[in-house]
Structure 1
Amino acid sequence: MTAIHIQGLGTYVPAKRITNDDLASRVDTSDEWIVSRTGIKARHMLADDENGSDAGVKAALLALEDAGLEPGDITHVLTATCTPDYLCPSTACILSGKLGTHGAMAFDLNAACTGFVYGLDVARGLLAGNPDAKILLVGSEAFTRRMNWNDRTTCILFGDGAAAVVLTDGDAGTPRACLPSAARLRDVQCGADGRQYPLLTVGGGTARNYRPGDPVQDDFYLQMQGREVFKLAVRSLSSVCAQLLERNGLSLDDVDLFIPHQANLRIIEAVGDRLKLGADKVFVNLDEYGNTSAASIPLGIGDACRQGRIRAGSRVLISAFGGGFTWGAALLEF
């Protein structure tokens, strides 16, 4: 099997920017309190007439442009999200209809904040069976639609955003805009522990037996046991990164840049310490976006490319954890 490559990448964040001071006007918090505990300074919010699928389309069009492809060239549309437009139809189908990828296989996958890494593994399997496929993988989240704005422990953490990549079997040439070179997916590893699902939930599904006219309950919004999530996140991120490097015969000295899921600066720093990575090798952009869940890592890749932190020849380690409880890591070689 020819090596799988990320042939194009596109990112999008909504124009509306919510600072910590903006939040302090509606909930009992402050800029100092938020920054000291999370490292987040701002996040972006979808406009009232904008949905997650709209954000995904904007990112997807940029990824297609980067790859030098048209929507009609795409054979599969995968959308990683845990804040879909609807329970049914899938956001992938909605996105496909807006893009014009008619006839392409389309479905959502929900691994929460690990969704993009899970999507890479799923795409790898699809390309193994169909080497001619051209897969559009979109991570798009509308988390501000599921925030309880009276809960200062959670509403400060999340933002909206989208990012997309085009995956092909083999290097089809140099991308046109965002990526410095087509990134080879060397390996990916994912896991989950369903016993931990109560630690982080977002309602709106059928576990709650709503009847017409019933008011929504608190479990309609994101609920999280932060301390327990922190401990599990640090352990799982550190472990999966070490396992992935070991099975590829590599050490952290062989990694040029580590892009972890952007959830909380304390988690990122704790993982960096466990892996013995210097701050110069750990990429952080959550100060501007907050936690964008499945869009987090590809947004990070895009920003790192624009900042010159990723160049042709860079080896990049990415890793994420999320509700479920899920985790995953992947090695990219540019």
Structure 2
Amino acid sequence: MPFTTITGIGHYVPKNVVTNQDLTEVMETSDEWIRERTGIEERRYIERGKETTTSLAVEASLRAIADAGIDKEDIDFIVFATLSPDYYFPGAGVLLQRELGIAKTEIAALDIRAQCSGFLYGLSTADQFIKSGMYKRILLVGAEVHSVGLDFTTRGRNVSVIFGDGAGAVILEATEDKEVSVLSTTMHSDGTYAEKLSYMYPGAHGGYFIEKYGIEGFDVDYNLEENKYGGVFWNQDMLDKGRVYPHMEGQAVFKMAVRKFPEVILEALKKAGLGIDDLDLLVPHQANLRINQFVAHTMGLRDDQVYNNIMRYGNTTAASIPIALSEARDEGRLKKGDVVTLAAFGAGFTWAAAVLKWGK
């Protein structure tokens, strides 16, 4: 049975830098307030009308392809993780295929909707395809554009100050060498907390879950009789009441994240036949610097064993791990044979981890 190895990696972030001070111009906040709660100093936003989730993915993908020393036509499967696709449908995977100019190969393109855990869900999926022998060279991408869908007012600041735009990509290939391969992956979810971190409107639920679970802070804000055949998925009332923005209960997310992060990291290491003492570098999802620092302290990790870049980019959800992994490689933080653990926690709730031996 073949193993899976990363043969190419690349990332891309927009040139437009938005500092905490910039955000004070549109909402009541401060650089100190944002840094204290999140550790974020700045983030990147796309140039509207000229960049998209897919266009960021193209740039990251081309860099990963070049790094792997392959031709884009050599790719036989695309896995695209994002919570901010350019279209509600079709998915971003086929758009990436088209923009890369490889549509004529008619390879499959799979979209992953696991939010912050999306890249690791994608990695686990791709790993199984390679191990089964179905595919030999897979392009795995995590890309996000949050800046076009946030509430840039004081009402939305708790969420809006956190997120940024960016993309990261890897080329995964079959190998016989276990010493430079993915050693383990693990994934979990708990839908009990689905609405704690969510983007509920527009959507097809029609208020069903709001009524069923009595979700605090929400009500069924449209008349189903008046909208018998429409107006439930999307209507003006949703816009007027600010329903079309992300919702987050920060404390609930923080408490669950700091518990599940260490659990899933240790689970993945154990599955790989390793322990925390074998770990060379932890690359966690960049949701909140305070979460990552708490987890590192809890697990007894040194600062040089954890890679963080949320200070520069904010939370880029599915893109955060491949961006951080790419930067860590570029900065010389990785050498061949290093044991690297990737871990993520996010909306759903979903959480996941992977352990690999670095081969680049």
TM-score by length of 2: 0.87
SS in 2 for 1:106: strand
- SS of the residue aligned with 2:354? strand
2:344/2:352 contact within 8 Å kept = yes
CA separation in 1, counterparts of 2:236 and 2:39? 40
Please give the alpha-carbon distance, in whole angstroms, between the structure 1 residues aligned to 2:205 and 2:46: 27
1:225 maps onto 2:249 in alignment: yes
Deviates more, 1:153-162 or 1:119-128: 119-128
Correspondence for 2:325: 301
Residue in 1 that maps onto 2:271:
247
Call closer, same or farther: CA 1:327–1:249 in 2, change over 3 Å: same
Q: Which residue of 1 aligns with 2:292?
A: 268
Contact kept, 8 Å, 2:203 with 2:234, in 1: the verdict is no
Does structure 2 retain, via aligned residues, the 8 Å contact 1:16–1:44?
A: yes
Q: Do the aligned residues in 2 keep the contact of 1:184 with 1:332 (CA within 8 Å)? A: yes
Aligned to 1:322: 346
Q: What SS does the corresponding residue of 2:257 show, helix, strand or coil?
A: helix
Distance (whole Å) between structure 2 residues aligned to residue 97 and residue 313 of structure 1: 35
Q: Deviations over 1:2-56 (max 9, x none)?
A: 2210111110000111000000111111111111111000000011121100100
Give 3-state SS (helix, strand or coil) of 1:284's partner.
coil
- Structure 2 Cα separation of the partners of residues 219 and 292 of structure 1: 22
C-alpha change, 1:183 and 1:157, in structure 2 (3 Å) is: farther
CA distance in 2, matches of 1:276, 1:91: 39
1:118 alignment partner AA:
Y
The residue that corresponds to 1:159 in the other structure is 164
Q: Secondary structure at the match of 1:27?
A: coil
* Corresponding position: 1:86 with 2:87: yes
Distance 2:354 2:238 in 1: 42
SS for the counterpart of 2:158 is coil
Distance 1:72 1:205, change over 3 A: farther
Q: CA deviation at 1:144?
A: 1.3
Q: Does 1:197 align with 2:221?
A: no
Q: For 1:146 and 1:41, how far apart are their aligned partners in 2?
A: 20
Is the partner of 2:308 in helix, strand or coil?
A: coil
Superposition map of 1:115-130 within 5 A: 115-130=118-133
What do the CA deviations read for 1:41-81 (whole angstroms, capped 9, x no partner)? 00000111211001001111111111112221111111000
Q: Is the 8 A contact 2:147 2:163 kept in 1?
A: yes
Instruction: Tell me the residue number matched to 1:100.
Output: 101
State the Cα distance separating 1:171 from its structure 2 match: 6.7
Change in 2 beyond 3 A, CA 1:212/1:325: closer
When Rg is computed on C-alpha atoms for both structures, the one with the higher figure is 2
List per-residue Cα deviations over 1:152-176 (Å, max 9, x = no partner).
111110000001111111179xxxx
CA distance in 2, matches of 1:27, 1:228: 24
The 5 Å alignment of 1:276-291 reads 276-291=300-315
Question: Which residue number in structure 1 is paired with residue 209 of structure 2?
Answer: none
| Uncovered stretches (5+) of structure 1, i.e. residues with no partner | 173-181
Deviation string, structure 1 residues 83-107 (Cα, Å, up to 9, x no partner): 1111111100011011122211012
Please give the secondary structure, in 1, of the residue aligned with 2:147.
Answer: helix
Q: Partner letter of residue 220 of structure 1?
A: V
Cα distance in 1 between the residues matched to 2:205 and 2:97: 29
Rounded Cα–Cα distance in structure 2 between residues aligned with 1:224 and 1:263: 12
CA 1:155–1:133 in 2, change beyond 3 Å: closer, same or farther? same
Asked if the contact 1:186–1:333 (Cα under 8 Å) also holds between the matched residues in 2, the reply is yes
Q: How far 1:131 sits from its partner (Å)? A: 5.1
Q: Conserved in 2, the CA contact under 8 Å of 1:81 and 1:110?
A: yes
- 1:270 and 1:243 mapped to 2: Cα distance? 18
Structure 1 residues 183 and 97, CA, compared in 2 at 3 Å: closer, same or farther?
farther
- Give the corresponding residue for 1:177: none
Give aligned-pair identity as a percent.
38
State the aligned residue count.
Answer: 325
1:57 aligns with 2:62: no
| Cα deviation digits, residues 192-224 of structure 1 (max 9, x gap) | 011110111123333351456666252321110
TM-score (norm 1): 0.93
User: 1:282, 1:97 → 2: CA distance?
Assistant: 36
Report the secondary structure of 1:239's partner residue.
helix
Q: CA deviation at 1:186?
A: 1.1
Q: Which runs of 5+ in 2 are unaligned?
A: 207-231
State the superposition RMSD in angstroms: 1.6
CA contact (8 A) 1:53 1:91 kept: yes
Provide closer, same or farther for how the CA distance between residues 320 and 12 of structure 1 changes in structure 2, counting only shifts above 3 A: same
Q: Which amino acid aligns with 1:99?
A: L
Deviation at 1:313, TM superposition (A): 2.3
Listed one character per residue, the Cα deviations across residues 230-255 of structure 1 (whole Å, up to 9, x for unaligned) are: 00011111111111112323121111
CA contact (8 A) 2:116 2:318 kept: yes
The equivalent of 2:181 in structure 1 is: 184
Retained in 1: the 8 A contact 2:143–2:166?
A: yes
- Partner SS, residue 154 of structure 1: helix
Question: CA 1:27–1:212 in structure 2 vs 1: closer, same or farther (change >3 Å)?
Answer: closer
